[in-house]
Amino acid sequence: MDFTTLVDTHYRGLYQFAYSLAHSEADASDLTQETFLRWAQKSGQLRDTTKAKSWLFTTLYRLFLNRRRHVTRFPHDELSDAETKLPPVDSNAVRSLEASEVISALQEIDETFRAPLVLFYLEDHSYQEIAAILDVPEGTVMSRLWRGKALLRDKMKDRSKGRPANNIIPMQSPKRKEVRS
Amino acid sequence: MNPQEARLILQCRRARGQDDSLPAMAEARQTIENLPDLKKELEEDAAFDALIGEKLRSIVVPSTLRSSILAGARITPQIPWWRRRLTVFSAAALLAVGVSSLLVKPQLFPSGHEIASSQANTGLTEFREATTKKVNHDGIHFSKASEDFSELKTYLASHSASSPDQVSHALSPLPTHGCEIFQWKGHEVTLVCFETKDAGTVHLFTINASDLPADLSAPLLASANGWETITWKQNGKIMQLIGQTTPERLKQLALPG
């Protein structure tokens, strides 16, 4: 795959990922350009172009973290955190929201949950690929997706009701749904 | 697989079914097949996910981003290995000469004029190191991408105090890739990248002369980090053109006449 084809295939997805993380057009453009620049500089070392997509997203995420000087290490979450039903949300109300409101709701969520969530919603990657990009176990991605979704629903609910979002992170749903097998 | 595990896996299923062929996903779907409540709950979740995904994928990508990326890649220099090695050897040789001259003539001290000149040129050397390293390693991030120099000139004039007011007749008609405004030691520097037919991409850096004290009574030619450079003073600004070509060609491109 030549460079132009590679750019054409991935720059939109990378930009949307970057924008969802950084919430700034300038930063997102910069991160996307920097990612491709790194590819151009190292393309001789990366002959397996089938891994290009994963490499590009991983690099962009690392560049974002480096810029944020994000040094906190988050523990890998246990699967048992995600055994309850997600908080309900009114789909019609969400449908009426602008993309910018979804982005700003995402900004209120810690980037530990935001990164897998955005990769999931952009639909370019399976949860297994997201695990490889973020360098965490698959179970951690599942758990973070669940908790990220719970947080996002909470923020969306606040927005659709027209009141400011709170910063409380719901770790567990108040009502646990009983499921019989 | 129990229903809780199935729920956890199925909430990772992308809304348009891209993951349906994964064995874990198939097993999870089979697990909830006879659990209508859970099935309904997951369908509702998937509908919400589809909505959010749709919103995120509607983020508009800046129209100039693609051209900026491609332009940025074109100007990424590929320094041949022998040239990199030569740079290392040159640095080692210079260091050896410096050390031996100190040992041989320890009694000699520079005059006041030489100290001032040396300090001024230290700044210039640092600037040259910074500009060439930027192109080699740090990368160029265009503030504006355009093939028209006059367009970039107008942009820089309205965004920076260190824009290049005037360039040579050899340089001004050349197509450009874009321009960048960046900081060097707290001072603003502008960069414009020109494409030549015979010398590849050349980069013009401009900084206010007051921000870079330099002894520049005549244009100064020097090599650094695999690049030939020419630096000169013009209308209260210091300009530096760098390229991977001969010093003579660089001089022709840089200077009027």
The pLDDT tens digits of the residues spanning B149-173 come to 998 999 899 888 788 888 999 999 9
A43 and A85 housed in the same domain? no
Interchain CB contact of B69 with A (< 8 Å): yes
pTM comes to 0.55
Does residue B8 sit in helix, strand or coil?
A: helix
Residues A83 and A126 in one domain: yes
Report pLDDT digits (tens) over B25-84: 999 999 988 889 888 888 888 888 888 888 888 888 887 788 888 877 655 554 544 454
Residue in B229, B186, B232 with CA at minimum distance from that of residue B206:
B232
Cα separation, B195 vs B88, whole angstroms: 28
Query: Any chain A CB within 8 A of the CB of B133?
Result: no
All domains of chain B, ordered by start, with CATH?
A: 3-57 (no CATH), 66-77+114-254 (3.30.200.100)
Contact assessment for residue A140 and residue A113, using Cβ atoms and an 8 Å cutoff: no
Shared domain for A22 and A52, answered yes or no, is yes
- Write out chain A residues lying below 8 Å of B22, CB-based: 126, 128
CA distance B83 to B75: 18
Token code pair at residue A130:
């997201």
Report which of B213, B233, B205, B11 is spatially closest to residue B119, judged by C-alpha positions. B213
State the residue for tokens 């006041």.
Answer: B112
Q: Enumerate the residues of chain A whose CB falls inside 8 A of the CB of residue B8.
A: 79, 82-83, 142-143, 146
* Domain end (from A16, A44, A68): A68
Residue B207: pLDDT above 80? yes
Are A151 and A109 in the same domain? yes
Q: Please count the other Cβ atoms lying within 10 Å of the Cβ belonging to residue A8.
A: 14
Joined together, the tokens standing for residue B234 give: 């013009």
In terms of C-beta density within 10 A (0-12 exposed, 13-18 middle, 19 or more buried), how is residue B217 classed?
Answer: exposed
Those of residues 89-148 in A touching chain B at CB distance below 8 A are: 89, 91, 94-95, 97-99, 102-103, 118, 120-123, 126-128, 141-143, 145-146
Please give the residue range of the domain that contains residue A22. 3-68
How many contacts (CB atoms, under 8 Å) link A and B?
A: 138
Q: What type of residue sits at position B79? A: I
Residues in CB range of A73: below 8 A, 6 or more apart: none
Domain contains A181: no
From A68, A91, A108, give the residue that closes a domain.
A68
**Pairwise CB contact (< 8 Å): A126 & B18:** yes
Q: Do the Cβ atoms of A120 and A145 come closer than 8 Å?
A: yes
Looking at the 3D structure of chain A, how many domains does it have? 2
% pLDDT > 70, chain A: 67
Domain identity same for A36 and A94:
no
Residue B213 or residue B240, greater confidence:
B240
Nearest to B141 among A25, A30, A123 (CB): A30
**In a domain? residue A176:** no
Same structural domain, A153 and A87: yes
**Of A68, A100, A124, which marks where a domain is finished?**
A68
Prediction ipTM score:
0.71
Which domain CATH number covers A156?
1.10.10.10
Query: Do A107 and A39 fall into the same domain?
Result: no
DSSP helix/strand/coil, B11 = coil
Residue A9 resides in a domain: yes
